[in-house]
Amino acid sequence: MYKALLFDLDGVLVDTAKYHFIAWKKLADELGIPFTAQDNERFKGVSRARCMEILLELGGRTMSEADQIFYRDKKNQIYVGYIRNMGEDEVLPGVTDFLQDAKARGYAIALGSASKNSRLILDRLHLTQYFDAIIDGTKVSRAKPDPEVFLQGAAELGTLPRECIVFEDATAGIQAAHAGGMQAVGIGDSQTLPEADIHVPGFLGVTIENIEAELAK
């Protein structure tokens, strides 16, 4: 029944969420804005520009567009400094086996990420080969929870939304999948991602067969 799998990147395939957090935290400290791991949940899945706006909201601050661009570029430089040094061991456990197995079973596979650094990360971690389509922050104009990124992925794969399963670690991404008429697997628990159709803590020991069986229940 399902023909295509669409994966978010940060926090689903690779452990980059921690580097986003560290980089935003450094910037927040510089700007004197309190910023916690809980605040960081709101940053997951949303664009860099939107993250900058949320940070300013958290600090009750306003800033000119030019300054916002300056600071979000600065955050990105800090972030890219970390991801350039990532090793293949930072692919999350079980991910490579899961992708290999799904590919061998004939599923079409796409990336659906807000990140403009997606290609750099996939190349760096030797994951690019698994993807039939890569939709990232350089290709979409509307951020999750808008379904654009996943609908574009389904279209590039030549599949219908109802034939797609989305894997997401962010509330905005689960909402985007549903808005696009797709099933959403939450990487995490039901407390953090109450809207997901099913949950897995990660990919270790999980196969696409398990996922399909769970979705059918």
- Give the alpha-carbon dihedral of 185, 188, 193, 199, to 10 degrees: 40
Known catalytic membership, residue 89: no
Site for ligand BG6 in 9-68 (CB under 6 A): 9-10, 20, 43-48, 51
Known catalytic membership, residue 10: yes
User: Shortest distance, CB of residue 114 to Mg ion, whole angstroms?
Assistant: 8
From candidates 167, 169, 176, 187, binder to Mg ion by CB under 5 A: 169
From candidates 6, 27, 91, 170, binder to Mg ion by CB under 5 A: 170
Query: Residue 145, interface with Mg ion (CB under 5 A)?
Result: no
Considering only the stretches 6-14, 33-41, 54-62, 148-156, report the one whose residues sit in contact with Mg ion under the rule CB under 5 A. Answer: 6-14
Cα–Cα distance measured from residue 80 to residue 35, given in angstroms and rounded to the nearest whole number:
20
Considering only the stretches 115-123, 157-165, 180-188, 200-208, report the one whose residues sit in contact with ligand BG6 under the rule CB under 6 A. Answer: 115-123
Name which of 57 and 212 has its Cβ closer to ligand BG6: 57
User: Shortest distance, CB of residue 76 to ligand BG6, whole angstroms?
Assistant: 6
Q: Binding residues for Mg ion, per CB under 5 A?
A: 8, 10-11, 169-170
